[in-house]
Amino acid sequence: DVLRIGVVGVGIMGADHAERLARRTAGARLVAVADPDEVRAKELAGRFDGVRSGGDALELIAAEDVDAVILASPGSVHEEQVLACLAAGKPVLCEKPLTMDSESSLRLVQADREVRGRLGRSLVQVGFMRRFDPEYSQLRSVLAGGTLGRTLLLHNVHRNASVPHADFRSEMIVRDSLVHEIDVARFLFGEEVVAIQVMSPAPTTHASPGVVDPQVAIFTMAGGGLVTNEVFVNSQVGYEVRCEAVAERGSVVIGRPSAGLYSATLAADGSGQWGGTVPADYRTRFATAYDLEVQSWVDSALRGESVGPSVWDGYAATAVSSAGMTSLATGERVTVDLVDPLTLSPNASSTKE
């Protein structure tokens, strides 16, 4: 069986997913790419045999020869595009963030529930690829295995050498970068985030004027555990993503590139030196995670199942980042309002601490 796939959005991640589908995903065939920037879409399609390009996402989603869709478009257009996939009955892997505000994410949870009622399965997977990273999934197994006792704290570090757009404002750091840590916290604790506080340290001179970078965010988990997060998107150096979990009888660190690597070389002055390199960006650091994510999505779509981060995970993360944006503006701790997962109606208890 082969799943014929269309990719919407041909930026960094769209191009990366297209390459993955065309060259190394079993059971997948890339058939079309679409982007409002038709020149760029055509250039991407031209790298592969028999792949067409177009400017209209909705046309690609509706196309007869497209069985499933990867959305690598901006979050602001995800609602319309995910709804189109649901209407067409096609599995969709939607890059994070699911949408830009909780209301629209909740509408997608509702729409996907209706589909689930009819088809018996969800059609939406959200692109929280870290869940597929071997280190994060091992860490989760260790914590869930219980030998270390209850998880108490997580300390996350998330650095990018730089960010592409001059318009990568403070809010974008919360929605687009911190959102990964929100999902990691929910994934590793197996609980919702109930409150968030975002602090604004003195910014680096490498940030655009007025942009808060680095940021430090603290999450409170439903069971009372705390998560500290540093997000620094203009670190100049490279892509560093680390996580340390602290439990009652031990701690575990993941994401240290040097851990498995001892490299002895000559320095410029001729002396011996040791050390590894810092990956340039997420495509390198999470290459395996993305491959496993997409392979697992394709395999489950062919089986008629859905696995992986759900539309609820996307909604919960959006709700936390929305509260994070309020906190970014005030510096205060803000509680997160999630609807009741069963009824999807407002849940009075979720706002209590």
Interaction site with ligand ISE (CB under 6 A): 160, 163, 176-177, 180, 233, 282
Residue 170 CA to residue 333 CA, distance in Å, equals 17
Residue 319 CA to residue 194 CA, distance in Å, equals 10
Smallest distance, ligand ISE to C-beta of residue 162, A: 10
Would you give the DSSP letter of residue 132?
A: G
Smallest distance, ligand ISE to C-beta of residue 97, A: 9
Query: 90 vs 180, which CB is nearer to ligand ISE?
Result: 180
Q: What is the dihedral of CA 169, 171, 172, 175, to 10 degrees?
A: 170
Query: 163 vs 254, which CB is nearer to ligand ISE?
Result: 163
Smallest distance, ligand ISE to C-beta of residue 231, A: 7
Query: 30 vs 72, which CB is nearer to ligand ISE?
Result: 72
Smallest distance, ligand ISE to C-beta of residue 81, A: 17
Element (H, E) at 294: helix 287-303
Residue 11 CA to residue 27 CA, distance in Å, equals 24
Residue 66: φ, ψ to 5°: -110, 115
Specify the 3-state DSSP secondary structure of 334.
strand
Smallest distance, ligand ISE to C-beta of residue 317, A: 12
* The pair of three-digit structure tokens given for residue 288, joined into one six-digit string: 């395996």
Query: How many CA atoms does the CB half-sphere of 74 hold within 13 Å?
Result: 8
Query: 91 vs 127, which CB is nearer to ligand ISE?
Result: 127
What string of H, E and C letters represents the secondary structure of 2-58? Answer: CEEEEEECCCHHHHHHHHHHHHHCCCEEEEEEECCCHHHHHHHHCCCCCCEEECCHH
Smallest distance, ligand ISE to C-beta of residue 4, A: 26
Smallest distance, ligand ISE to C-beta of residue 318, A: 14
Query: 177 vs 220, which CB is nearer to ligand ISE?
Result: 177
Residue 222: φ, ψ to 5°: -55, -35
Smallest distance, ligand ISE to C-beta of residue 177, A: 3
Q: Give the C-alpha distances (Å, rounded to integers) separating 15 from 7, 92, 179, 235.
A: 9, 17, 22, 25
Query: 51 vs 182, which CB is nearer to ligand ISE?
Result: 182
Calculate ∠ Cα 299-305-311, nearest 5°: 105
Smallest distance, ligand ISE to C-beta of residue 126, A: 12
Query: 139 vs 317, which CB is nearer to ligand ISE?
Result: 317
Going by C-alpha positions, the residue among 330, 337, 331, 342 that lies closest to residue 352 is: 337
Q: Which residue is nearest to ligand ISE (CB)?
A: 177
Query: 79 vs 176, which CB is nearer to ligand ISE?
Result: 176
Query: 137 vs 347, which CB is nearer to ligand ISE?
Result: 137
Specify the 3-state DSSP secondary structure of 320.
helix
